[in-house]
Amino acid sequence: MVGTSVPVAGRRSDTATAALDELDGRRVVTFRLAEGKHVGAIGPPEGETIARAVRLAIELGRPLIGTIASSGADVSEGVSSLHSWGLIARALSDASGVVPTVLVVVGPCVSGPALLLGIADLTVMTHDAFAYVSGPDTVRAFTGMALDHRALGGAPLHGRRSGVASLVVDDEHDADAAVAQILEYLPDNHLLDPPRMTVADPVDRDTSRAAATVPARLNAPYDVRVVIDDILDQHSFFEVRPTHAPNLVTALGRLDGYAVGVIANQPNHRAGTIDIEASEKAARFVQWCDCFNLPLVTFVDTPGFEPGKDLEWRGMIRHGAELVHAYAAATVPRLCVVLRKAYGGAYIVMDSKGLGNDWCGAWPSAEIAVMGASGAVQVLHGRRLRELTPDARAAQERALEAEFDERFSNPYAAAARGFVDEVLAASDTRRALAAVLDQLRTKRELAGPRQHANTPL
């Protein structure tokens, strides 16, 4: 932290402190919960100090940055300690969607207070930090499984499997740098637009690297991050939750200096299919960008939802609906580009025209359809094809697939029906997106009369 720091909430506790602070020139409110007799344990003084910091962030309209190394509720204070972290949870919930909230975990964060990490917008964990609700002793007593702190809730695990950690960094210094970089894309509060940066990258630059990255063969893998990086302003791509649900990319970036949120299918992992984790990851990110007025840019290349009994039993319907609801409810400018494949329900949930996007572009080689030509031909003509000889069947299948592609799969057919606004050259993607964003950036939607929707959590 650099700049003038003004302590607030007194010194009721050696464990919790709060201040009006600066981080790389941005005015923020900070709190720190660490050290003390019980390693950052939360009792009434700590709860009141942190809640005061959160309330100040809301009142002043400043981002909230909290640093945590806590052993949980202070047992010596009894049930009052439980209510103390509940007080913090209530304050963080009130701050949600009002000011950006980032928690930095630099040690333990365990028991009930660990749930605070799920309320914050983003959580940054240092590599040696760990977090869990039920500790190793409880897990062993209940399941018979012996795990240490890091095997149960270490930072790499939360970055990869649970998605609790938005970023995993080496140490607290790197955490401060990461938070400062995140704030560069965000406004101080929900009433403001994100700051615009002056960039030297020409807005009409060809995106030939992006065009060359996407293979013509529909099932060939590639790294969509190369495409995104080429289209965005140079050096502005900043990925969030990079190791969690890697079949879908969520990132912050800039386009002609304007901050945007990017969502993209990742064909390098699981062919870019959408599963439960990808749906949750994208839905949370879309909703967060909408809170803080970041336009959404979506890149589509997906063959569909990932099939499987386990996914269906775990609630693919409910979790897929989270992404549908997040996009449909978003009021910020929403731009979408179909790069290659856009099939079935997965095409719809990736911010299609039916969900209300403001502009949809497609590369000339894109395929937009209920399903691929091969599958569609079998559904439509399978019975008749099975009556033919093998050689005749193969020839007829090829002819029918070509006819299906010509009539239904190509982006021109979708454009003729109003589902695609522009079929654009792949090398022209940056210019087209920047031009549309410049026209849409004043978009405003008034909230409806209801208090809030019943989101499919």
Model pLDDT for residues 83-108, shown as the tens digit of each residue: 999 999 999 999 999 999 999 999 99
CB 322 within 8 A of CB 456: yes
User: Is residue 20 predicted with pLDDT exceeding 70?
Assistant: yes
CB 155 within 8 A of CB 106: no
User: What number does CATH give the domain 208-366+410-440?
Assistant: 3.90.226.10
CB 259 within 8 A of CB 185: yes
- DSSP labels for 295-362? -EEEEEEE--BPP-HHHHHHTHHHHHHHHHHHHHH--S-EEEEEEEEEEHHHHHHTT-GGGT-SEEEE
- For residue 418, the 8-state DSSP code is T
Residue type, 78: G
Q: How many helices (H) and strands (E) does the chain have?
A: 17, 16
Return the minimum-mean-pLDDT range out of 24-38, 343-357, 438-452. 438-452
Q: What is the mean pLDDT of the chain?
A: 92
Cβ atoms within 10 Å of 35's Cβ, excluding its own:
14
Q: Is the fold of 6-183 the same as that of 208-366+410-440?
A: yes
Question: What is the distance, to the nearest Å, from the Cα of residue 367 to the centroid of all Cα atoms in its chain?
Answer: 25
Mean pLDDT: which of 41-50, 136-145, 173-182 is highest? 173-182
- Among candidates 335, 345, 392, which has minimal Cα distance to 368? 345
Cα(30)–Cα(49) distance, rounded to whole angstroms?
Answer: 11
Its pTM surpasses 0.75: yes
- pLDDT for res 92: 97
Q: In Å, what is the CA distance from 398 to each residue of 344, 381, 389?
A: 21, 12, 14
**pLDDT class of 265 with cuts at 50, 70, 90:** very high
Question: What is the distance, to the nearest Å, from the Cα of residue 307 to the centroid of all Cα atoms in its chain?
Answer: 22
Mean pLDDT, residues 322-339: 97
User: Is residue 408 predicted with pLDDT exceeding 70?
Assistant: no
The 3-state DSSP composition of the chain as helix, strand, coil percent (nearest 5) reads: 45, 20, 35
Which two three-digit tokens encode residue 254?
């800039």
- pLDDT for res 21: 95
User: What number does CATH give the domain 6-183?
Assistant: 3.90.226.10
- pLDDT for res 385: 75
Domain definitions of the chain by residue range: 6-183, 208-366+410-440
- pLDDT for res 2: 46
**pLDDT class of 371 with cuts at 50, 70, 90:** low
Return the minimum-mean-pLDDT range out of 121-125, 157-161, 246-250, 446-450. 446-450
Which two three-digit tokens encode residue 185?
């894309």
Q: What is the 3-state secondary structure (H, E, C) of 248-275?
A: EEEEEEEECCEEEEEEEECCCCHHHCEC
- pLDDT for res 101: 98
Higher pLDDT, 76 or 55: 55
Phi and psi dihedrals of 42, rounded to 5?
-100, 120
Which two three-digit tokens encode residue 335?
């731009």
Mean pLDDT, residues 227-243: 98
Mean pLDDT, residues 328-350: 95
Higher pLDDT, 73 or 422: 422
Which two three-digit tokens encode residue 262?
């990017």
- pLDDT for res 392: 80
- pLDDT for res 5: 87
Contacts of 59 (CB under 8 A, 6+ apart): none
Question: pLDDT tens, 350-364?
Answer: 999 999 999 999 999
Cβ atoms within 10 Å of 149's Cβ, excluding its own:
15
